[in-house]
Chain A
Amino acid sequence: MTAPAGCVAVVGAGQAGLQLATTLRALGYDGRVVLVGAEPALPYQRPPLSKAYLAGTVPAEDLALRDPAYLAEQGVELVAGRRVVGATLTGVGGVLRLDDGVVLGFDRLALTTGATARRLPVPGAGLPGVLGLRSVADAEQLRSGLAEAADVVVVGGGFVGLEVAATARAQGKRVHVVEAADRLLARVVAAPFSAHVRAWHESRGTTVLTGASVSALDGTDRVTGVVLGDGRTLAADLVVTGVGAVPDVALAQALGLEVERGIVTDAAGRTSHPHVVAAGDCTVQPHPHLPGRGLGIESVNNAVEQASAAAAVLLDQEPAPRGVPWFWSNQGELRLQTAGIADGHDQVVVRGDGGADGTGRLTVLYYRAGRLIAADVAGNPRDFNAARDALAHGLSVDPEAARDAGVPLKSLVEDPSAPAPTGPALAAHLTNGP
């Protein structure tokens, strides 16, 4: 081991921070590992916050990612419920100042500060009954709000908003989803996939309004309605805002690191400072298809992989190669899985029709310059696994052949750079065929 002997400080005790801390140990680091988190709880899982936890079927203690006994065994010192209020980098390391006055010296620093839910920039957004969802504390408030509510309006038709909508609808609430774009999940999926997701939610009784802006939230002591751009007002006793997240970059900026929308890193979490890494929702990393552009990837998979790589970087070890980015979203019985990064595609292939009520199977394959770059899959693990496997091996799928949903996707995976069969070989193949 070449570096560092003394102490690694990890700021942010979410999925990425925990992963970074435990990977340092797995890679053989034997110095101090201090994990500083602003929230009082042990590092916990966020995906259930909009689903099982919100529905009340999972207790808070089950959200913890690791048992305290395991953290102790690993020698990860968790400093929970403390904010970093100041930080300095020196030539060899630096110091963090915490809000309780503690000063923590470190040799290397990791920033896994996450992101904050974006607030709705309209009058009334601060009224009681208007909630975002990011932390377990948010989810607790939302859960008790749901118990009382009859009319729920979800502002924002992204993954979190739709997961909350499905959970609320399953509890019998009247649910409206209000989305400013002309379709759901517009930033991340192609139109046929949006239509499928919409059909599922509508068949369950949720009202989906697209192309609908919110101009204000009504109410005096508490929210009572959502005023739309066209003047209509939707009754609401609970408003959930799912309008994106803003990377938490304040500390990185204070330290003089390069920051765009998030902390600028490479795929392995290297920042512009040689002794500082960053990982997870607080970062932007090189876009895989659009050179020169940065990409924020908010997913558990990214948090885990980027943090693991960043741990290796801090120890001057070669990071393991990154896998295929992937993501999932369960909205009631609707199971969505994504492999790869679709942004930058120039062609789309649809497999299956998904059914009028969205309960069927639907796969959308994304291509760039004739090669498969991503897949969105509803209710079809075989297609998801085949696409993920193809991407992992640098292989593709013939777009024309893939349109036939009756043909297993796995059987169509091919090497697009392999030379095409020559005349005689093709003839021989045909002769020997069944």
Chain B
Amino acid sequence: MPTIEFTCPDGSHRTVEARVGASVMETAVKLGVPGIVGECGGGLSCATCHVFVDADQIDLTGPATDFEEEMLEDAVTPPTELSRLSCQITMTDALDGLRVSIAKEQQ
């Protein structure tokens, strides 16, 4: 199983195993990783699963799509070019070791 390393809003780190095909958001919510809410369950509608992908890995995940980018514009923490909604990143073996930081102001 590929792993994801989260940097939580309080600065702590948490590494979890993800099922291939599950999104980064789902994986975090199921295991109670703090700071990822995912209220819309991946419907691309709430912008409460905002993460910053490690700069070395953004090529692997790709940048936000147009609709996603518009949702991110008004996320609680201002987005950067490394911003993604984690519900839109589907885990694959190629993403093993993915490192993401959770947006700080996300409750």
Contacts and interface: CB of A to CB of B under 8 A. Distances in A.
Interface in B21-63: 21-22, 26, 29-32, 39-47
B73 interface: yes
B71 A69 contact: no
A73 B14 CA distance: 15
A70 B31 contact: yes
Nearest to A44: B41
B71 A385 contact: yes
Given A66-B29, A66-B30, A381-B67, A301 B39 contact: yes
A70 B26 CA distance: 13
B41 A300 contact: yes
A283 interface: no
Contacts of A385: 47, 71, 73-74
Interface in A353-391: 379-382, 385-386, 389
B44 A382 contact: no
Q: SS class of chain B's interface: helix, strand, loop or mixed?
A: loop
A368 to B, nearest CB: 24
A113 interface: no
Among B19, B32, B45, B70, the most chain A Cβ lie within 10 Å of the Cβ of B45
Q: How large is the interface on B (under 10, 10 to 19, 20 to 34, 35 or more residues)?
A: 20 to 34
Nearest to A389: B74
B30 A330 contact: no
Contacts of A381: 67, 70-71, 73-74
19 contacts: A48-B42, A66-B29, A70-B32, A300-B39, A300-B40, A301-B39, A328-B40, A330-B43, A335-B44, A335-B45, A335-B67, A337-B45, A379-B67, A381-B74, A382-B70, A382-B73, A382-B74, A385-B71, A386-B74
Interface of A: 45, 47-48, 59, 61-62, 64-67, 69-70, 73-74, 300-301, 304, 326, 328, 330, 335, 337, 379-382, 385-386, 389
Given A64-B30, A73-B32, A330-B44, 15 more contacts: A47-B40, A48-B42, A66-B29, A70-B30, A300-B39, A335-B44, A335-B67, A381-B70, A381-B74, A382-B73, A385-B47, A385-B71, A385-B73, A385-B74, A389-B74
Pick the 10 closest A-B CB pairs, nearest first. Answer: A385-B74, A328-B45, A381-B70, A67-B30, A381-B71, A70-B32, A45-B41, A328-B43, A67-B31, A47-B41
